[in-house]
Each structure stands twice: as structure tokens, then as C-alpha cells.
Amino acid sequence: MNLTTRLLAALRERGASEIFGIPGDFALPLFREIERAAMLPLVTLSHEPAVGFAADAAARARGGLGVAAVTYGAGALNLVNAVASAYAERVPLVVLSGAPAAHELASGFVLHHQVKTTDSQWRLYREITADRARLDDAAQAPAQIARVLGTALRRSLPVYLEIPRDMAAAPCAEVPHAPPPRPDPEAVAACADELLQRLRAAARPVLMVGVEVRRFGLEDQVAELARRLGVPVVTSFMGRGLLAGTGAPLHGTYLGLAGDPAVTELVEGSDGLLLLGVIVSDTNFAVSAQRIDLRRTVHAFDDRVAMGHHVYPGVPLAALLPALLQRLPAAPAVAAPAPPPPARPAPAPGDAALRPQDIAAAVNALFERHGAMPVASDVGDCLFTAMDIGPTALLAPGYYATMGYGVPAGLGLQCATGRRPLVLVGDGAFQMTGWELGHARRAGCDPIVIVFNNAAWEMLRAFEPEGGFNALERWDFASMAAGMGGDGHAVHTVAELQAALERAVATRGRFQLLDVRLAPGAVSPTLARFVAAVRRLSMPLPGTATAAEATAHATLS
């Protein structure tokens, strides 16, 4: 066994099920050993951002590690945005980068693909990963690999392994299993006791769940906790899709002023808000009608639990949840009252020009007829529209908000789980990475892709209507599908959309691209509310001198 095969065994034992990648001369030995070992399938794509997004989605969808393999310099630096997104969204993505051999580093030459120094890439990756190792000594490599992969899983964050091209085939010992550090049981017990005491003292406790619940595979435990507590559950914007199908009393997604007023009132009127695995970000909380006083919440995130003015460090969700469940009687035989059914946009007449909400209505009807599909969404109005779809699993970079995620994520999701995804993507984002569909057949994938073709960067135009720079030509994506091995459907009306979705579901083995020609300027109700809310909270209101005062005014009003 050599360094690469030991690394592959360690990756597979920690949940990886494939490697996405693009080679380069500094990575050819690594790719050769990966192919020879045949221990993890190697899925090559066309552009490194897509490699990162696909590996990110594989980790999110399946749990465990996602793996992206690239060459040194041009490849690894092309990957940076996707790794940054994984860091922001707390995804355990492992970057494997080829690198110069020892004799090349000692040559005295400036090397091709080198930036400022041969360490520039290492230093750049320090800012977007939780741990790193350069595997230039076979005696150290097993312990380094164990430590770095352990960090990825324990923190649910990206990590970086640099493999010099003269080391890929070097003989190497087995990678040990480094058990994760055990939390202090006394601290966990004290934390669980105080948390439950606070919830019992609250008149209107509410549970909000976020990304860490999925990242650490805790959905079933959280659903059971919600049932035993008998409190309403909502997801954060980024947590949309969580607890789908678990029977938890899920009341919807909290979007502040941009969301369902009943959910907003539930959250902002609570005197006992329990945030589990929620990133306290602007996308999750910025458009709050009432500023939520986080000092009155209980916030369990990133291995710590904050309550009021004090923090329990070293208490991960995976330890806190069993401690809470041990302290609560099993859920009552009678389930908590089911939340109200989500308000569905009324279907438009068959010949009506298409709006984003018509896509949501048609997809919901399709899911009712054929069963829900997991959804991978890009950034743009398609993600706001996704708030009206479901309940179903949803993968999207809701916080870091990078475009280009949707199509590669759909491929990553299907490679890792075998489930056929529905991909939602705007025309602008499709122009970035939609072409990766050309790899679908070879990767054994057949996603159904809905392109929100509004001939604009519409989400930006909603904020900046005068910006002519947000206009795009209307591309004919439907006619491009066949050339990439799929089927294209140009769709102009509600009736055509419904028919195209039925044909797409009935066709397997070829991706299906629905090129939905949206009415110019049409935006989803959620995006419209989001824009109005941002305007209200950030524009000075009459009689207030500054935005800060406006915010204060919004808080008090």
C-alpha cells in the first residue's frame, strides 16, 4: 500500500464515496494512483469551481467527507471560491492538491503554476480551511492524515492535504483512527439542566434548527427532541429542508419580514428561542421585523452553547442532544398538533405567462403525483422560489450565496446518494457552471434541471432597477441540451411547464433541461418581500436621520 491508497482507505472509512477532480501535471501521479487503486470512483468535471461544488453537495447529501482533487496553482486557486463557500456553510470538504516534488522545490527555478512563492497556495488555503498538512514525509503522513480528516469531521469544515508528486506512490503505513476528544460529561450535564430549566420557564418556547443538525447527522435526534419538548419547530433560511419527513411539528422557515407572518410572529414573539446548529448570519436574521435579542436565546453552535451572558465551551450538539433526551420522557403517544399546511400559491391559468411562483406550484403538484425529489438550488430568485417548494431536502449555499452551485451540486448529490435531483438555477448562474451537465451521462446522472430564464441578473435588478448592467440576452438553453447528451424543453406557459415536467420524470438516463421563459421582471413573492424588507430596514424612514435610526425604528415599531 502506498500513500495514495492509505489516504483513499482513510477517506472511505470516514464517509467519502467518490472523488471529484481535474488533474494537472503536478497531480498526475496522484490521479494515476487513484485510478489504479479503484477504491473510490473518480468523477472528472470541466472547471474547478464545479469540482468543489459537487464535492460539497456530496458531503451535504450523504454525510461524511466530500473530496475534491486538483492540481497545484491554477487548479487549486480556481477552487478557492467553492472551498470558501464550504467553510462558510460548514461543509467537511477535503481538498487534495498535487504539488511540486522535493527536487523541484530545491531546483532554484521559479516553478510553473507558482504565485509569489512556492508556499503561496498553502498560505491562501490557511484562510479557508480548518486544518492542513503537506504529505512530504511518508513516516509522518499517516498521523497527519488522521489528524486533518478528524478535524474535518469534528468541526464540519474544509481541510487541505498537499501531495508532492514524488510522494503519491511512496510506501506508507496505515492511517490510524484518532478518536475525537470526549466532551466533559459534567459540563454537558450542567448545560442540559440549565437549558431545560430555561425552556420550562418560557411561556412560548420555540426551536429553530440550522445547518449543523444536518452536517452532524442529528435530524432524527432533533425531531425526537421536538416531539418530547412539544414545542413548535422552524428552520432557519439556511436550514430549509431540514426535518423533512421526520414527523416533527415543523411550522416552516423563518424569513423575518420576507416570510410567513405566522412563522415570524412565532419566532420573534418567543421568550425561549432555542437555536440548534444555526449560523447567526444576516441571511438568517437580518430582515427580522423585531430585532431578536440573542442574549435571551440559547444558541448551540460550533461546539459551544451560549445562554444569556455565559457560554458552555466544548459541548457539541452530538453530546448535548443525548443529554437532553435522557432528561425528557418519551414523546407522548399523541403527536404535537400538526402545523398548518403551507400556503400554496394559487395555480395560474394554463396559458398564462410564467412567473417563479408557477414553477413552485408545478413542482409541488409533481411531487404530490410522483413523490418528492431532493432539490439542489443555485443562488438567485430560484432559491427564494425554493422556499415555496417542499417539504423536501434542499441543498443550497444560502449564506455564502455563491452562484454556480446548482448544477454541479445536482451531480454531486446524485453521485453520492443515487437519488435523482431536481436542480433550480437562474440563467446567469447556468452560464457559469450549467455546462457541467455535459458530464451527467458519463457520471451516471440524469438530473431534472429547471432554468429560470428571465434574461437578467434579476435578483440584482430587484435591488437596482435602473442598473442596465443587470440585463442579459435571453439564451436558448433548451436547444443546447442535446449537444450535451440531454433533452431540452423550451417552456412558455403553465400548461407547457406541467407537460414538460411529466415528460422529464418519465425519461431516465438523460438529463432533462426545462428552459422556463419567465415574464420579464417577474420575481417570486418571497424575493419581492425580501427586497421590500431590506429597503424598509436599511433606508432612512421619514423623520429618521440615519439608517441606524431607521433600524432602531423598525425594531421598536
Cβ pair 375, 425 in contact under 8 A:
no
395-414 mask for ligand S1T (x: CB under 6 A)?
Answer: ------xxxx----------
- 486 vs 481: CA distance, rounded Å: 5
Nearer to ligand S1T, 416 or 429 (CB): 429
Question: Rounded to 5 degrees, what are φ and ψ at 208?
Answer: -115, 130
Nearer to Mg ion, 319 or 429 (CB): 429
- Among residues 39, 9, 6, 44, the alpha carbon closest in space to that of 27 is found at 44
Cβ pair 481, 415 in contact under 8 A:
no
| 427 near Mg ion (CB under 5 A) | yes
- Among residues 63, 19, 57, the alpha carbon closest in space to that of 153 is found at 63
Nearer to ligand S1T, 175 or 449 (CB): 449
Q: Which does residue 382 touch among Mg ion, ligand S1T, none (CB within 5 to 8 A, set by kind)?
A: ligand S1T
Question: Rounded to 5 degrees, what are φ and ψ at 395?
Answer: -110, 125
Set of cell numbers at residue 44: 472528472
Q: Which does residue 42 touch among ligand S1T, Mg ion, none (CB within 5 to 8 A, set by kind)?
A: none
Q: Which residue is nearest to Mg ion (CB)?
A: 426
- 136 vs 102: CA distance, rounded Å: 8
Nearer to Mg ion, 375 or 516 (CB): 516
Among the listed residues 429, 437, 484, 491, the single contact to ligand S1T using CB under 6 A: 429
Residue 453 Cβ vs Mg ion, minimum distance, rounded to whole Å? 7
In the block, residue with C-alpha cell 453552535? 301
Q: Which does residue 403 touch among Mg ion, ligand S1T, none (CB within 5 to 8 A, set by kind)?
A: ligand S1T
Write the single-letter amino acid at 254.
Answer: Y
Of 184-203, which residues contact Mg ion (CB under 5 A)? none
Q: Which does residue 402 touch among Mg ion, ligand S1T, none (CB within 5 to 8 A, set by kind)?
A: ligand S1T
Number of residues that bind Mg ion (CB under 5 A): 6
Q: Calculate ∠ Cα 236-237-242, nearest 5°.
A: 65
Which three-class secondary structure state does DSSP give residue 65? coil
Cβ pair 456, 471 in contact under 8 A:
yes
556 Cα distance to chain centroid: 34
Choose one: 33-41, 154-162, 203-211, 425-433; the region binding ligand S1T (CB under 6 A).
425-433
Report how many helices (DSSP H) and strands (DSSP E) the chain contains, helices first: 22, 19
Q: Residue 83 belongs to what H/E stretch?
A: helix 80-88
| 128 near ligand S1T (CB under 6 A) | no
Which three-class secondary structure state does DSSP give residue 165? coil
Residue 301 Cβ vs ligand S1T, minimum distance, rounded to whole Å? 24
Bridge partners for 134 per DSSP: 162
Residue 385 Cβ vs Mg ion, minimum distance, rounded to whole Å? 12
| 378 near Mg ion (CB under 5 A) | no
Nearer to Mg ion, 191 or 459 (CB): 459
Total count of residues recorded for the chain: 557
Is the four-CA dihedral 527, 233, 274, 315 of positive or negative sign?
Answer: negative
Among the listed residues 31, 53, 301, 457, the single contact to ligand S1T using CB under 6 A: 457
Write the single-letter amino acid at 74.
Answer: A
- 201 vs 517: CA distance, rounded Å: 53
Residue 228 Cβ vs ligand S1T, minimum distance, rounded to whole Å? 39
Residue 233 Cβ vs ligand S1T, minimum distance, rounded to whole Å? 28
| 458 near Mg ion (CB under 5 A) | yes
Choose one: 189-197, 198-206, 450-458, 506-514; the region binding Mg ion (CB under 5 A).
450-458
Nearer to ligand S1T, 96 or 396 (CB): 396
Nearer to ligand S1T, 68 or 276 (CB): 68
- Among residues 294, 240, 293, 323, the alpha carbon closest in space to that of 555 is found at 293
Choose one: 232-240, 295-303, 422-430, 503-511; the region binding ligand S1T (CB under 6 A).
422-430
Residue 535 Cβ vs ligand S1T, minimum distance, rounded to whole Å? 15
| 459 near ligand S1T (CB under 6 A) | yes
List, as one string, the DSSP characters of 407-433.
HHHHHHHHHHH-PPPEEEEEHHHHHHH
| 454 near Mg ion (CB under 5 A) | yes
| 53 near ligand S1T (CB under 6 A) | no
Cβ pair 441, 510 in contact under 8 A:
yes
Q: Which does residue 216 touch among ligand S1T, Mg ion, none (CB within 5 to 8 A, set by kind)?
A: none
Among the listed residues 164, 252, 428, 434, the single contact to Mg ion using CB under 5 A: 428
- 192 vs 274: CA distance, rounded Å: 12
Nearer to ligand S1T, 131 or 458 (CB): 458
Nearer to ligand S1T, 87 or 452 (CB): 452
Set of cell numbers at residue 238: 439556511
Residue 247 Cβ vs Mg ion, minimum distance, rounded to whole Å? 37
309 exposure class (CB count in 10 Å sphere: 0-12, 13-18, 19+): exposed
Among the listed residues 24, 421, 426, 447, the single contact to Mg ion using CB under 5 A: 426
Among the listed residues 456, 500, 514, 516, the single contact to ligand S1T using CB under 6 A: 456
Q: Residue 195 belongs to what H/E stretch?
A: helix 185-201
| 189 near ligand S1T (CB under 6 A) | no
| 52 near ligand S1T (CB under 6 A) | no
In the block, residue with C-alpha cell 486533518? 148
Nearer to Mg ion, 9 or 472 (CB): 472
In the block, residue with C-alpha cell 421582471? 521
Q: Residues in the site for ligand S1T, rule: CB under 6 A?
A: 379-382, 401-404, 426-429, 452, 454, 456-460
Which residues make up the interface to Mg ion (CB under 5 A)? 426-428, 454, 456, 458
